[in-house]
Amino acid sequence: MSNSQTNQEENALEEALSPIVDKLINKNYESNKERMTSQIAPLLGSAIREQIKSQKDDVVDALYPVLGNMISRYVTKTLEETLNSINAQIQNGLSYKTLKRKVKAKLKGVSETELLLSENANPNIQAVFLIHKETGVTLSRAHNPNHHVSEPEMLAAMMTAIRSFVNDWVSQDGKDHELGEIDYSGNKIIIEASSYSYLAVIVEGASYNSTYDRIRGVLGDIVSKYGESVKKFDGDLTQFPNAEVYKELSSLLINEEEIHKAKTHPLMYVVPLVFLSWASFSVYKNYLNDALRDKANEVLYKTTQLTSYRLTANAVDGVITLSGEVPFAYHKRLARKLVEKLESANKVDNQIIVAPSLEDPMRISSNIAYLISGLNSQKGVNLTYDYDYETLVVKGEVWDEARKNRVMQVITQAITLKNMQNAVIIKPPELHKSVCFERGSTKLTPSAQSRLIETILLLKRLDESLLINVTSYSDQIGEKKQNKKLSNDRIQNVTNYLREQGDVSNEFVTAVSQSSPEGVNPSLEPQKARCVIISYEKKVNR
């Protein structure tokens, strides 16, 4: 029988049997779906592996739409959850966690927003796959219960295809290379490979060196413990120690921040709090000591009997320690008595030395200069001095006799010299207050009352023996008789105000002038011409 005849018979037989065979297959599938599926399933793994080896591009193109949609859904869901988390933390403004974050932001010197974004950017491992390199079969997997990955077998096959394609393409230079990670929308799939398997880890958020170290550590443990089982894998997952490997993979799902907290000893929180409390207490205690020391030194300096001796005070825990030298025990007792009155003083340690013979000329001169400087800080005192050994001449000006007597008494008590001369003169400050009135009026305006109050305050600092001159002037408008009456009434109102409101007891000398004050043109400045001028002079004893 010729070949052509044989071929014709085979074709005819195939055409005759094909409908019957198709019908039998369809009928058998309808009635025995589960049995046929179980029979075909073992062949799918080999078929997929063979397809990947022979037609990588076709497999990638075929799986891309499915895997792309899956990744897109996953990224969208993850982004929504991140935004919801940030919104919840912002809205929950009075929670303990929020207050804790505010304090943490202050301590770190960053804004609360930066810290909040940092918290939400912590790496969050969503799923881990241990994939056999040669077959592309998922040996074991673990995933976050709240982020279940659909179609894990499809993902494993796709990862194997992409990894194999990239590694083969890059390896054209003759060196071994491995695909490290795949980024998508800020998230990534980290790939860490060993000899016969690799880990594919889906990470949400930022990943740090510690993240990669954890992944390498888990893969290293799996290889050391179950490397032989991975090497001998023949497609039968029932012979693979999946439960043990699953425990290893699950350790990667624990948040890195929780791991850090678990490793942190409770004392790490207590010690900073104790240190902060101690530091705060120390700062507060130093503040109290400094305040008490300053008060004590101020009292010593402002007490004229002690000013020249430059006594110093220090304060520790309410105990004031006094130091320095004075010529008499009186000064030592006075210093102690003064600082004991301070509100925060619990105890006074008086270490002041009494040295009666302070006769060194340089030291005496220094003490005199220091004392004169302190006296000149008082109102109405302006002193100078000449010092030659054993002789002191006090010069300068003071406002009144009372001041002169007081400063000389202080100098005499503080400085012990055989010859001390008093050349201080009394020179009251100048007083030339002008109180103006409205035309035809004798009433004191608010401005006039203000100037009289200034006059009263000055007179209170001066001797009561001074004569107060009160002179009234006129604008020379109108009749002289009427102007004289207005001037007398104005003088009376001014002196009454000084006596009644200011309790001024000095003797008054009044005068009425028909002219205007010196230097005032009544036609140009009529209001300045209608005034009462107050001055004073020393009483001359006759």
Q: Do domains 272-354 and 433-537 have the same CATH topology?
A: no
pTM summary value = 0.33
pLDDT value for 494:
92
The domain 272-354 is placed in CATH, from the list 3.30.1490, 3.90.550, 3.90.320, 3.30.1340, at: 3.30.1340
- Confidence label for 307 from pLDDT (cuts 50, 70 and 90): confident
Q: What residue spans define the domains of the chain?
A: 3-54, 56-263, 272-354, 361-426, 433-537
Decide: 197 and 221 in contact? Cβ < 8 Å: no
Q: What is the pLDDT of residues 158-173, one digit of tens each?
A: 777 777 766 666 555 5
- Tell me how far apart the alpha carbons of residues 318 and 349 are, in angstroms, rounded to a whole number: 11
Three-class SS of residue 507?
A: strand
Decide: 322 and 338 in contact? Cβ < 8 Å: no
The domain 433-537 is placed in CATH, from the list 3.40.50.2300, 3.60.10.10, 3.30.1330.60, 3.30.70.1350, at: 3.30.1330.60
Q: For residue 155, which phi and psi values (nearest 5 degrees)?
A: -65, -45
pLDDT of 528 over the 60 cut: yes
Apex CA 528: angle with CA 526 and CA 530, to 5°? Answer: 70
pLDDT of 31 over the 90 cut: no
15-43 burial string, b = 16+ CB within 10 Å, else e?
eeeeeeeeeeeeeeeeeeeeeeeeeeeee
Mean pLDDT for the stretch of residues 147-161: 70
How would CATH label the architecture of 361-426? 2-Layer Sandwich (3.30)
- Tell me how far apart the alpha carbons of residues 403 and 463 are, in angstroms, rounded to a whole number: 9
Decide: 463 and 429 in contact? Cβ < 8 Å: no
Decide: 320 and 345 in contact? Cβ < 8 Å: yes
Longest dimension (CA), the chain: 177
DSSP letter at 253?
A: G
- Tell me how far apart the alpha carbons of residues 86 and 80 are, in angstroms, rounded to a whole number: 10
- Tell me how far apart the alpha carbons of residues 173 and 186 are, in angstroms, rounded to a whole number: 31
DSSP assignment of 279-346 equals HHHHHHHHHHHHHHHHHHHHHHHHSTTTGGGT-EEEEETTEEEEE-EESSHHHHHHHHHHHHTSTT--
Higher per-residue confidence, 533 vs 182: 533
Higher per-residue confidence, 208 vs 52: 208
Alpha-carbon distance values, 250 to 146, 189, 200, 215 (Å):
14, 17, 13, 11
Q: What is the mean pLDDT of the chain?
A: 76
Mean pLDDT for the stretch of residues 88-116: 59
Q: Mind spelling out the 3-state secondary structure of 114-170?
A: HHHHHHHCCCEEEEEEEEECCCCCEEEEEECCCCCCCCHHHHHHHHHHHHHHHHHHH
Apex CA 247: angle with CA 245 and CA 253, to 5°? Answer: 115
Three-class SS of residue 389?
A: coil
- Tell me how far apart the alpha carbons of residues 487 and 440 are, in angstroms, rounded to a whole number: 10
Decide: 455 and 433 in contact? Cβ < 8 Å: yes
442-471 burial string, b = 16+ CB within 10 Å, else e?
bebeeebeebbeebeebbeebbeebebbbb
Mean pLDDT for the stretch of residues 95-114: 62
H or E, element range at 385: strand 381-388
β-strands 124-132, 197-204 pairing:
antiparallel
Q: Mind spelling out the 3-state secondary structure of 425-492?
A: EECCCCCCEEEECCCCCCCCCHHHHHHHHHHHHHHCCCCCCCEEEEEECCCCCCCHHHHHHHHHHHHH
Three-class SS of residue 201?
A: strand
Higher per-residue confidence, 233 vs 99: 233
Work out the burial of residue 515: count CB atoms within 10 Å of its CB; fewer than 13 is exposed, 13-18 middle, 19 or more buried: exposed
Mean pLDDT lowest among 109-118, 126-135, 403-412, 439-448: 109-118
The residue among 302, 307, 304, 303 whose CA lies nearest residue 366 is 307
DSSP letter at 516?
A: P
- Confidence label for 349 from pLDDT (cuts 50, 70 and 90): very high
pLDDT of 112 over the 80 cut: no
Mean pLDDT lowest among 46-55, 80-89, 130-139, 425-434: 80-89
Decide: 341 and 303 in contact? Cβ < 8 Å: no
Work out the burial of residue 113: count CB atoms within 10 Å of its CB; fewer than 13 is exposed, 13-18 middle, 19 or more buried: exposed
Tokens of residue 194, six digits: 């060993």
DSSP assignment of 207-219 equals --HHHHHHHHHHH
pLDDT of 321 over the 90 cut: yes
Q: Which long-range contacts (CB under 8 A, 24 or more apart) does 479-485 make?
A: 480/514, 483/514, 484/512, 484/514
- Describe the crossing of helices 33-54 and 3-31 by its angle, rounded to 10 degrees: 120
pLDDT value for 262:
47
The torsion region of residue 334 among left (phi > 0), alpha (psi -120 to 50) and beta comes to: alpha
pLDDT of 471 over the 80 cut: yes
Highest mean pLDDT among 24-38, 62-76, 178-192, 487-501: 487-501
Class of domain 56-263 as given by CATH: alpha beta
- Tell me how far apart the alpha carbons of residues 50 and 266 are, in angstroms, rounded to a whole number: 56
Mean pLDDT for the stretch of residues 484-508: 88
